């Protein structure tokens, strides 16, 4: 082989070798950034910042997918693991969203339960002041709210308490109605 051919071959190899290293570097960089995002997302989950954790998991999934699409990762295993890692990240993000949605529903139910309790206590105050119609209205409203909480809550202590309190409030309103009927003409 002549020196010109060897020089040309070396030139061609040198010309394309840096491009392959850059591509492998980009793939590896994306993979490592995605791994860092996973660790950061786990930290945010521990801090109960679920929105930021979900965002980081979705970013990591996107980065893993891009790394999997590159053909020049430093190892075949890294490229193959990228798609599995992307699926893992998407699942974690979906789980966080699901848990956040369940937490929001639970918070709403607790808020409604406590609001019904306040209305019930207002009815007790009105009853003690002989404001019968207002007391009946408050007890009926509290019973309806607790009934709604019981209907929306999964089987739990909250549901059982809501059912019991709704019955108590309804019974109290009915007792006041009966009392008013008996004492109407006195």
pTM of the full structure: 0.58
For position 145, what pLDDT does the model report?
95
User: In the CATH scheme, what architecture does the domain 3-102 have?
Assistant: Up-down Bundle (1.20)
23 falls in which pLDDT band (50, 70, 90)? very low
32-41, 100-109, 170-179, range with the lowest pLDDT: 100-109
Domain spans of the chain, in order of start: 3-102, 104-182
User: In the CATH scheme, what architecture does the domain 104-182 have?
Assistant: Up-down Bundle (1.20)
Q: Is the pLDDT at 18 greater than 50, yes or no? A: no
Give the DSSP letter string of 6-55. HHHHHHHHHHHHHHHHHHHHHHHHHHHHHHHHHHHHHHHHHTT-HHHHHH
For position 43, what pLDDT does the model report?
93
Residues 6+ apart with CB under 8 A from 137: 123
Contact predicate 96/57, CB 8 Å: yes
Contact predicate 147/132, CB 8 Å: no
């Amino acid at each position: 082989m002549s020196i010109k051919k060897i020089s040309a071959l070396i030139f061609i190899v040198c010309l394309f070798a840096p491009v392959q290293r850059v591509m492998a570097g980009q793939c590896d960089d994306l993979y490592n950034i995605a791994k860092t995002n996973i660790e950061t997302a786990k930290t945010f989950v521990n801090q109960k910042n679920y929105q930021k954790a979900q965002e980081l998991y979705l970013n990591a999934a996107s980065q893993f997918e891009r790394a999997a699409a590159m053909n020049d990762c430093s190892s075949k295993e890294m490229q193959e693991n990228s798609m599995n890692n992307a699926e893992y990240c998407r699942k974690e993000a979906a789980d966080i969203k699901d848990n956040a949605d369940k937490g929001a529903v639970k918070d709403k139910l607790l808020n409604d339960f406590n609001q019904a309790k306040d209305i019930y206590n207002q009815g007790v105050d009105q009853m003690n002041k002989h404001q019968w119609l207002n007391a009946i209205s408050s007890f009926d409203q509290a019973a309806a709210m607790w009934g709604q909480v019981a209907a929306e809550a999964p089987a739990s202590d909250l549901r059982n308490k809501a059912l019991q309190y709704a019955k108590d409030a309804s019974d109290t309103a009915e007792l006041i109605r009966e009392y008013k009927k008996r004492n109407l003409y006195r």
